Amino acid sequence: MNARPAPPEVSSVCCYCGTGCGVEITTDGHRVLAVTGDGTHPANFGRLCSKGRTLGDTTGRPSARLLRPTLRPAKDEPAQEASWEHVLDVVSTRLADAIRQHGPDSVGFYLSGQLLTEDYYLFNKLARGLVATNNIDSNSRLCMSGAVTGYKQTLGADAPPACYDDFAHAGCVFIAGANMAYAHPVLFRRLEEAKAAKPEMKIIVADPRRTDTASLADLYLPVLPGTDVALFHAMLNVMIWEELIDRDYIAAHTEGFAALRARLREFTPRAASELCGVHEDDIVTAARWFAQSPATLSCYAMGLNQYSNGSDKNAALIHLHLATGHIGKPGAGPFSLTGQPNAMGGREVGGMATLLPGHREPGDAAHRAEVAALWHIPALPSNPGLSAIEMFEAAAAGRIKVLWIAGTDPAQSLPEQALVRTALEKVDCVIVQEAFNSSETLAYADIVLPAAAWPEKDGTVTNSERRISRVRAALPPPGAAREDWRIVAAVAQRLAATLMPERVALFEFADAAAVFAEHAATTAGRDLDYSALSYELLEQRGPQQWPFDGKIGRTRLYEDGMFPTASGKAQFVDIAWRTVSDKVSAHFPLRLTTGRLRDHWHTMSRTALVPALTRHAEEPQLAMHPRDLQRQRLGSGDLVKVRNKRGAIYLPVVADDTLRPGVAFIAMHWGGAALGGQGINALTTRVIDPQSRQPELKHAAVAVEPARLP
Ligand code: SF4
């Protein structure tokens, strides 16, 4: 009897968080049979979290997918199915008309950290190299741009210096504004194992909520939302006062310490305690543990970044490493944890208004000239581009005529939903390139381009430790859905044929490998240089970190104490104190913060398809401290109205003593569909960090009252 052939198995990467776990996908050629952890992948060595383990359950559900391209003949008419050829022609025509009539900056691209590097690269080449606009940004703006600015201001480049192996080498791990247990569960497992192997390791967690991550902490610091700079400044002040700083490292490898030191004098533990709500004794203990450990690693994420002072928070935390020399050695360094699976890759290709390929900047004429030369075009646009919030503000003001949205749901996920929805209504042509049909943005789409989803795509992603992995297609896309990069290339070739026929060839690629090869070449000579990397090498040697010298990727950065700044020295930044934009008041006395749940991802387009995941939290809730509930004569389960000057939402309240009094919490995942029209982002503010342009999604002043339903 013939043995049945083994089911095909494909190595790929989990499509959720920035940990970037390797997976093995088993299929029967038509559907996914199993998803297991890849035991050889250096990010996870076979481990998967609840989301990764259930990835297979998100596939094979055509009823959840967009299967055919559609067009809406007019704003008030229903969408109609159309052929790809026709729809691609229409997209190209709408872009060309807008460019001719209103100029290139009437076009905007709003992308996603869910896209693969190859998708991102071609979108960026289309925007900058053909449309000639810098109006290209991404939902990574909502996620990691504070970390980008923090790194660049202090270390000179957007490059996380540490790696996952550092958990095992650290003597102290300082976690600030990151709920790793929920948002990066496999990394949290590595931390748990390191702590179990080395019980003397100190873990400090600073967070407004006593999260599951804090359950592992030897010291928990209940910092008030938005006040981390006071905490970090006071810790550095203690280190200076108690002679715990590394004067030799500061003298040899840094600049600007004297100016910052003068600033820090006002941040005594007592004064800082008044600002940040952490007890002064705990500030002193945290400073001592951080400085006296043989190696200290800091992990941080949205709790630092999603504030109007997010860049300051990042820089102030990095100062602690520069002042103690806890950088560039095993177990030490500042380590931003990327939220999305490929927010790092998006930064590498320059798929944001403030970036160009290869960690270059559009405001630098030499950088523009370098990219123009690589792309064989005379010049790149020099007009400043619009970041995410600015792009939707411009759209609401009627200045964006064509808005192409790919892999993200701004109607739900951007702050100040009222303005975002006005913007989407105002734009002449909204193009939505998307895989799932649950996106609330689809209601505003004039053109829908059905995209392939995981595991139907070929490409690469870069995870939090700068490691590039291959994403491999295990199945063909359903219906007429297509890979994102192929859609972009097809539109670009049509648009080039209309506007600049000599540029058609710039968008001709045989496969994703060819796109990667062109992208990798743009990194040559830059801090992230992986110009020697190819799909072939990734096949032979597996996932690789950047920079990559042709043989091996670099595990950690700055081991020689040299930084990519003009002087070669890292920079202390003189950071003045400021806090959140939305101040609490008698009218709005509660500090509302937001975050993720363990088993959901973003707007739940995939995780809501898996019953095992929805069971963890079946409905949105407002969490408040029991004393706050008592004061308002509310009980768990009561329906409340949460309101502020921007909007109001209705949902049940629940008592939660992991919060401090005066702070409330709502998970970020539910939109208007679950909450009767308005999602959580009806309340959040579009005020941005002036440096990173990241909106303050983590804090809004609100009032809570019993709901009176009509
Ligand atoms: Fe996927 Fe992140 Fe879980 Fe790893 S930790 S399995 S990348 S969601």
- Separation of CA 101 from chain center: 35
Ligand 1 pocket check for 186: Cβ under 6 Å: yes
CA dihedral 419, 424, 427, 431 (to 10 degrees): 150
- 49 C-alpha to ligand 1 centroid (Å): 6
Q: Which pLDDT does position 616 carry in this prediction?
A: 84
User: Is the predicted pLDDT of residue 696 greater than 60, yes or no?
Assistant: yes
Q: Which pLDDT does position 671 carry in this prediction?
A: 85
Question: Of 420, 455, 456, whose CA–CA distance to 440 is shortest?
Answer: 420
Q: Are 217 and 205 in contact (CB under 8 A)?
A: yes
What does the mean pLDDT of the chain come to?
96
| Ligand 1 atom nearest residue 187's Cα | 5
3-state secondary structure of 122: helix
> What is the average per-residue pLDDT within 210-229?
98
Q: Which pLDDT does position 676 carry in this prediction?
A: 74
Question: 202 burial class (0-12, 13-18, 19+ CB within 10 angstroms)?
Answer: buried
Q: Which pLDDT does position 575 carry in this prediction?
A: 95
Give CATH 3.40.228.10 domain extents, the chain: 145-337
- Separation of CA 650 from chain center: 28
Ligand 1 pocket check for 315: Cβ under 6 Å: no
Ramachandran angles phi, psi of 131, nearest 5°: -65, -35
Could you tell me which residues come within 8 angstroms of residue 241 by beta carbon, excluding any fewer than 6 positions away? Answer: none
Give CATH 2.40.40.20 domain extents, the chain: 590-706
Please list, residue by residue across 339-367, b when 16 or more beta carbons sit within 10 angstroms of its beta carbon and e when fewer do: bbbbbbbbbbbbbbbbbbbbbbebeeeeb
Task: Note the pLDDT tens digit of each residue in 603-624.
Answer: 888 998 989 999 888 889 999 9
Ligand 1 pocket check for 454: Cβ under 6 Å: no
Half-sphere exposure of 178 (CA within 13 A, CB side): 30
Task: Note the pLDDT tens digit of each residue in 317-367.
Answer: 999 999 999 999 999 999 999 999 999 999 999 999 999 999 999 999 999
Could you tell me which residues come within 8 angstroms of residue 673 by beta carbon, excluding any fewer than 6 positions away? Answer: 438, 440, 679
- 39 C-alpha to ligand 1 centroid (Å): 14
Architecture of domain 70-143+342-545: 3-Layer(aba) Sandwich (3.40)
Question: 57 burial class (0-12, 13-18, 19+ CB within 10 angstroms)?
Answer: middle
Give CATH 2.20.25.90 domain extents, the chain: 9-62
| CATH fold group of domain 145-337 | Dimethylsulfoxide Reductase; domain 2 (3.40.228)
| Ligand 1 atom nearest residue 48's Cα | 6
| Ligand 1 atom nearest residue 43's Cα | 4
Q: What is the pTM of this model?
A: 0.97
- 302 C-alpha to ligand 1 centroid (Å): 17
User: Is the predicted pLDDT of residue 1 greater than 70, yes or no?
Assistant: no
- Residues 407 and 89: their CA atoms lie apart, in Å, by 21
| Amino acid identity at 511 | D
Ligand 1 pocket check for 17: Cβ under 6 Å: yes
Model-level ipTM above the cut of 0.90? yes
Task: Note the pLDDT tens digit of each residue in 627-666.
Answer: 999 999 999 999 999 999 999 999 999 999 999 999 999 9
Residue nearest to atom 2 of ligand 1 (CA): 17
**Element at 702 (helix H, strand E):** strand 700-706
Among the four given CATH numbers 2.40.40.20, 3.40.50.620, 3.40.190.10, 3.40.47.10, the one describing domain 590-706? 2.40.40.20
Q: Which pLDDT does position 709 carry in this prediction?
A: 64
| CATH fold group of domain 9-62 | N-terminal domain of TfIIb (2.20.25)
Question: Of 513, 518, 492, 512, whose CA–CA distance to 504 is shortest?
Answer: 492
